[in-house]
Amino acid sequence: MSAPLLEVRGLTKRFGGLTANEDVGFTLREGEIMGLIGPNGAGKTTVFNALAGFFPPTSGTILLDGAPVEGLPPEAIAARGVARTFQIVRIFRSMTVLENVMVGAMLRHRAVPKAAVVARETLDFTGLGRRAHDPAAQLTVAEQKRLELTRALATGPRLLLLDEVMAGLTASEVQEAVELVKRIRDRGIACVVVEHVMEGIMPIADRMVVLENGRKIAEGPPAAISVDPNVIRAYLGEGYLAPGP
Amino acid sequence: MRRGGTALALLGLAAAVAFPLLTTRVTWQNAAILMMMTAQLGVAWNILGGYAGQVSLGHAAFFGAGAYVSTLLSVKLGVSPWLGMGAGAVVAAGLGVLVGTPCFRLKGHYFAMATIAVGEIVQALVNGSDALGGAVGFNLPLGETGFWGFVFNRSKLPYYYIALGLLLATVGVNWIVNRSHVGYYLRAIKDEPDAARSLGVSLTRYKMIAMILSAGLTAMGGTLYAQKELFIDPGSTLSTSLSIKIALVAILGGAGTLWGPVLGAVVLTAIEEATRIAFGGTGRGTDLVVYGALLVVIAVFQPSGIAGLFTRRAPRPPAPPEPEARFP
Ligand SMILES: Nc1ncnc2c1ncn2[C@@H]1O[C@H](COP(=O)(O)OP(=O)(O)OP(=O)(O)O)[C@@H](O)[C@H]1O
Ligand SMILES: [Mg+2]
């Protein structure tokens, strides 16, 4: 039995006196979709920052394919196949859409023409192909979020960390995003999806992890999470039910 | 658009090659040499300050390294300044690594301020060192030596074509960098460093590549200056006002564009000559006043520089709002 793709154990992160994550643990298998939810300030983005190497955890272990990676810088984590998006978009505003994605593709393809081909394919996959030659700064917010996702995908990751890519989208845009995440999973890429939009995460997650005040308060399949009394109290509000089977 | 640009560049090149054959007036030739040397410095600065967005106000240290290393080697050891040019570039690149290692951690204005300090320190060190000529500097021997000795006084033409060659080589390096993955990475670092890192870009590594190229090419300009003037001292090769001028050339013309610094050099040299005529004397005292005034004008009216006037800019929508009201 090989090691899981990602294993997080006892992850704790303090900022001065504030504990943003406390003893968080979970595992993720190849090609799995995990939802990571919790109220504002629960510590979801902090988990992402630690996983992606943006700061070392105060304590705890992060194993990628069984090898510890906590404390490695973001560029080293990226090289090991972890890609992320940012909650507040950080696209390269002086570049075109295609160039943005090329920067991602260059992680595996240094030659510019090859990177352009890969970037173009990835844009077609995510449905942004027709915007390829527009300045990235001209995209709508929804498109900018999709661009960030495309750029992350172009690095050829095995694990994708998506931080609220569906926030601010219309209902039909959320449906498109849901379909896209499924197609990404079908490529064998595991995803951790941080989302407040429940319609966006409940139907696709294999498993959910719920944070509150930095601690994990529940873990399980979406259907069980949506009726978990702890979760309902902490976050979901009375009476929420998971859509469909 | 792109084809038009190539045609324009070829036309400019033809004009530059033919220029000294059209005018025999030494003042004109001299002004053209000065212009190309200034442009070369701006283009070299642009790799670090323009593409990578690391605004250095200490580039005179690299220029001085080039001028001093080649001069010391030729005056004391009789080494050809052409070899000295290479040695100066290597020394400047090494100095660049020394400067970059601590300073690249600094953001924005703090990086610029740190590089001013580096420039001042290097100037103070040379000023205080007898072995390096102190405040007096060095006179280089005047005799015509031919190509290998890099001293020409029968005609300005050799300097003219060397300056042109060095400018073209520097533009060529920029062009190659710009089209390779390094250029994309530098622009990514300038736009969004954290996003660049998340895509596997090592900030220190690529800033350092930009620093090494920029410092080395700037030093080559320093050697050319020493061989043309045949006199160097800290005031003319290591001053902060020179550092500011180098940055200004690129920013005025259009930082982060291939030809912007060349445009900037043409305009700045013209302005300097005009003020020299208007105010008389060497114009040295008025330099900083002119630079300061120009910087204010650029900052207020045309942040993208002269080159920005020629590129159609798509109107930028306001930055996207923070993710708004959410569930629940
Ligand atoms: N770099 C930082 N320095 C100091 N405090 C931080 C930092 N990053 C996050 N925090 C704090 O840690 C806590 C968790 O923040 P985090 O951004 O992880 O929450 P979140 O679950 O992503 O919330 P949201 O749903 O609003 O995005 C918050 O109290 C936040 O203020
Ligand atoms: Mg967050």
Is the ipTM value over 0.90, yes or no? yes
Structure tokens, B291: 């630079």
Could you give the angle at which helices B284-301 and B240-253 cross, rounded to 10 degrees? 30
- Residue A88 tokens, joined: 């507040």
| Ligand 1 center from residue A20 Cα (angstroms) | 6
Same-domain check for residues A143 and A173: no
Q: pLDDT at residue B257 above 70? A: yes
Confidence of residue A160 (pLDDT cuts 50, 70, 90): very high
What was the pLDDT predicted at B324? 38
pLDDT higher than 70, residue B281: no
For residues A13 and A37, membership in a common domain is answered with yes
Strand order in the sheet with A159-163: A82-84, A159-163, A190-194, A33-37, A207-212, A215-220
Same domain, A150 and A162: no
- Alpha-carbon gap: B150 to the closest alpha carbon of chain A (Å): 39
Please check whether residues A141 and A183 belong to one and the same domain.
no
b (16+ CB within 10 A) / e for B108-133: eeebbebbeebbbebbeebbeeeebb
- Structure-model confidence comparison of residues B157 and A46, the more confident one: A46
Per-residue pLDDT of A202-244, as tens digits, reads: 999 999 999 999 999 999 999 999 888 888 887 655 445 445 4
Q: Are residues A47 and A125 in the same domain?
A: no
Give the pLDDT of residue B2. 59
Please determine, for residue A53, whether its predicted confidence score (pLDDT) is greater than 80.
yes
Q: Quote the pLDDT of residue A106.
A: 98
| pLDDT given at position B26 | 79
Ligand 2 centre to CA of A161 (Å) is: 12
Residues A75, B322: C-beta atoms closer than 8 Å: no
pLDDT for residue B278: 75
For residue B182, give how far its alpha carbon lies from the nearest alpha carbon of chain A (Å): 9
Residues near A213 by beta carbon (within 8 Å), at least 6 away in sequence: A22, A41, A42, A43
> pLDDT at position A200, please?
86
Note whether A171 and A221 are same-domain residues.
yes
| Residue A54's CATH number | 3.40.50.300
Chain B residues lying within 8 Å of A144, measured CB to CB: 320
A215 & A133 share domain = no
Residue A106 is nearest to which of B181, B317, B326, comparing CB atoms?
B181
Is residue B323 very low, low, confident or very high in pLDDT (cuts 50, 70, 90)?
Answer: very low
Nearest CA to ligand 1 atom 23: A41
A58/A100 same-domain check: no
Q: What was the pLDDT predicted at B285?
A: 62
Residue A79 has which token pair? 């090289």
Residue A159, beta-bridge partner list: A82, A190
pLDDT band, very low/low/confident/very high, at B272 (cuts 50, 70, 90)? confident
Q: Which of A31, A40, A36 is nearest to A11 (CA)?
A: A36
Residue-wise pLDDT tens digits, B23-75: 777 788 888 999 999 999 999 999 999 999 999 999 999 999 999 999 999 99
Q: How far apart are CA B189 and CA B111, in angstroms?
A: 15
End residue of a domain, out of A156, A189, A207: A156
Q: Which of A108, A136, A156 is the last residue of a domain?
A: A156
Domain count, chain A: 2
B105 interface with A at CB cutoff 8 Å? no
Closest residue in chain A to residue B304, using alpha carbons only: A94
- Alpha helices (H) along chain B: 2-22, 26-46, 60-77, 81-103, 109-127, 157-179, 181-191, 193-198, 203-229, 234-237, 240-253, 260-279, 284-301, 307-310
- What is the arithmetic mean of pLDDT over B95-117? 93
The verdict on A44 and A147 lying in the same domain is: no
Q: What's the gap in Å between the CA of A75 and the closest CA on chain B? A: 4
Task: Identify residues whose C-beta is under 5 A from ligand 2, the ion.
Answer: A 44-45, 87
SS3 A172: helix
Percent residues over pLDDT 90 in chain B: 60
Which ligand is located closest to the Cα atom of residue A41? 1
Among B176, B198, B204, B324, the residue to mutate for chain A (most A Cβ within 10 A): B198
Contacts of B319 (CB under 8 A, 6+ apart): none
Q: What is d(CA A10, CA A232) in angstroms, rounded to the nearest whole number?
A: 25
The domain limits of chain B are 24-239
Span A107-119, mean pLDDT?
97
From A106, A131, A156, the end of a domain falls on: A156
Residues of B in contact with A152 (CB under 8 A): 198-199
Give the end-to-end CA distance of chain A in Å, rounded to a whole number.
31
The band of A48, judged by pLDDT with boundaries at 50, 70 and 90, is: very high
Compute the residue count for chain A. Answer: 245
Query: Are A165 and A245 in a shared domain?
Result: yes
Identify the pLDDT of residue B327. 36
Give the pLDDT of residue A129: 95
Same domain, A114 and A186: no
Domain with A149 in it:
84-156
